[in-house]
Amino acid sequence: MITVNNLQKYFSINQRQQGWFGALRGLIKPTQTVVRAVDDISFTVQRGELVGYLGPNGAGKSTTIKMLTGLLVPSSGELQVNGAVPWREREKYVASIGAVFGQRTTLWWDLPVIESLKLLQHIYRIPEPRFRRNFAEFRELLELEPFLNSPVRSLSLGQRMRADLCAAMLHDPVLLFLDEPTIGLDVVAKQRIRQFIAHINQERSTTVLLTTHDLSDVEKLCKRVMIIDHGRLLFDGALQTLQDRFGGKRELVVDLAEAYPTVVVEGAEVLAHNGLRVTYQFDRKVVSASELIGRVSAQYRIVDLSVREPEIEATVRRIYEERLLDREPATKGGRGSGA
Ligand SMILES: Nc1ncnc2c1ncn2[C@@H]1O[C@H](COP(=O)(O)OP(=O)(O)OP(=O)(O)O)[C@@H](O)[C@H]1O
Ligand SMILES: [Mg+2]
């Protein structure tokens, strides 16, 4: 569905000079700096996948999405989406995709929501029965009813996002690009949007590429994630692989049947020991959870136990901060391919 090969996007910007001498020199000859927003990225996405595209601020996520949606022309590299080169065949191409940019609406600011949607029906030449069917479905799923007649400018952020999502899906696109669709929303509004994304992916097999800073979006929706930073792909694989390889230490909490003077077990560290409850910390590279549970239960009588995974949030933060993956090339493409 999406094939990206060695994609690059550079921006030339005029660097402002420091001090009066620099300013003077800048007047004569402005200094150009090149920002490598997307710097040699390759991946493929299969039909029906729902992929999270993650990275810190300025990583190059939106720039990638803009190239994929045909809004920006790549500096170099190859790009094919749904059989088209987005920027070259823009008109034909946009009929097959939908896009929502959390930062700005694609609807008409002064028009009531319903009028905006009807306008889109004409622009995309959506036949009346199909429009009615889709609109009825999305109106219910996204709970658009209360604000259908309000102008877009008067909507709350959550309402606007729901209207935008409906607008993006009315013409049955096979692909949906979402650039921070839950930005600035409260928990309830986020939940509604996530349910909608999951629904269209499952029921309509719409392929979805999603950027977000909210990792619970990713946890709830995406099996596969790509992580970029400084325009480069750091990781491409299953969310679980990411967690397994970079999740750091896990914890095993055990409730003992009786008190023991010592609770030491090989391969794990005792993090806390309060009465009958023991918390072990262990490294997945040293011992697996089931091995450790085996060892503990061979030595002590236990009533209950649970394994605590580190938060996905902490894992990803560690990757951004330490650039753990710097030394390893990212695995290319493939649905949920492990790295
Ligand atoms: N039109 C532009 N002109 C110059 N530089 C740009 C332009 N668009 C983006 N950049 C730069 O390219 C880099 C990547 O920007 P991009 O918007 O793709 O990041 P992002 O991953 O979407 O970040 P965020 O999470 O903040 O939305 C940044 O350094 C940004 O300043
Ligand atoms: Mg962005």
User: 211 and 92: one domain?
Assistant: yes
The CATH number of the domain holding residue 220 is 3.40.50.300
**Residues 232 and 268 grouped into a single domain:** no
Mutation choice for ligand 1 from 12, 61, 218, CB with most ligand atoms inside 8 A: 61
Which residues form the domain of 270? Answer: 249-308
Q: Is residue 122 part of a domain?
A: no
Ligand 1 centroid vs 67 CA: distance in angstroms? 12
Whether 196 and 303 share a structural domain:
no
Between the CA of 62 and the centroid of ligand 2 the distance, in Å, is 4
Residue 91 lies in a domain: yes
Of all protein residues, the one whose alpha carbon is nearest to atom 8 of ligand 1 is 63
Return the number of other C-beta atoms located less than 10 Å from residue 65's C-beta. 21
Same domain, 234 and 256: no
CA of 181 to the centre of ligand 2 (A): 11
Answer whether residue 161 is part of any domain. Answer: no
> 10 with 85, same domain?
yes
Does 166 reside within a domain? Answer: no
Q: Are residues 68 and 184 in the same domain?
A: yes
Atom of ligand 1 nearest to the CA of 55: 21
CA of 59 to the centre of ligand 2 (A): 8
Q: What is the rounded CA–CA span in Å between residue 211 and residue 54?
A: 6
Strands 249-256 and 277-283: antiparallel
For residue 37, give the ligand nearest its CA.
1
**By alpha-carbon position, which residue is closest to atom 5 of ligand 1?**
11
Distance 334 CA to ligand 1 centre (A): 27
Within 6 A (CB) of ligand 1 lie 11, 13, 35, 37, 55, 57-63
240-243: Cβ within 8 A, 24+ apart = 241/338, 241/339, 242/312, 242/315, 242/316, 242/319, 242/339, 243/309, 243/310, 243/312, 243/315
Are residue 180 and residue 72 in the same domain, yes or no?
yes
**67 within domain boundaries:** yes
CA of 113 to the centre of ligand 2 (A): 25
Same structural domain, 269 and 230: no
Is residue 167 domain-resident? no
Whose C-alpha lies nearest to ligand 1, atom 26? 57
Q: Say whether both 301 and 208 belong to one domain.
A: no
**CATH number reported for the structural domain that contains residue 291 in this entry:** 3.30.70
6 and 90 in a single domain? The answer is yes
Do 215 and 230 reside in the same domain of the chain? yes
Task: Give the mutation target among 35, 182, 230 for probing the ligand 1 site: most ligand atoms within 8 A of CB.
Answer: 35
295 and 269 together in one domain: yes
Query: Is there a contact between 12 and 34 (Cβ–Cβ < 8 Å)?
Result: yes
For the chain, what is the domain count?
Answer: 2
Q: What angle do CA 7, 202, 311 make, to 5 degrees?
A: 70
Q: Tell me, yes or no, whether 292 lies in a domain.
A: yes
Q: Is residue 272 part of a domain?
A: yes
pLDDT at 324: 65
- Residue that the structure tokens 């102008």 belong to: 151
What is the pLDDT tens value at each position of the chain, 339 positions in all? 999 999 999 999 877 666 777 677 767 676 788 999 999 999 999 999 999 999 988 999 999 999 999 999 999 999 999 999 999 988 889 999 999 998 888 899 999 999 999 999 999 999 999 999 999 999 999 999 999 999 999 999 999 999 999 999 999 999 999 999 998 898 999 999 999 999 999 999 999 999 998 888 998 999 999 999 899 998 999 988 887 777 778 899 999 999 999 999 999 999 999 999 999 999 878 898 899 999 999 999 999 999 887 777 777 877 777 766 655 555 444 333 333
Determine the pLDDT at residue 336. Answer: 36
Q: Which atom of ligand 1 is nearest to the CA of 61?
A: 21
Under 8 Å between Cβ of 218 and 182: no
Question: Do 277 and 183 form a contact (C-beta atoms < 8 A)?
Answer: no
pLDDT recorded at residue 132: 97
| pTM: predicted TM-score of the whole model, two decimal places | 0.82
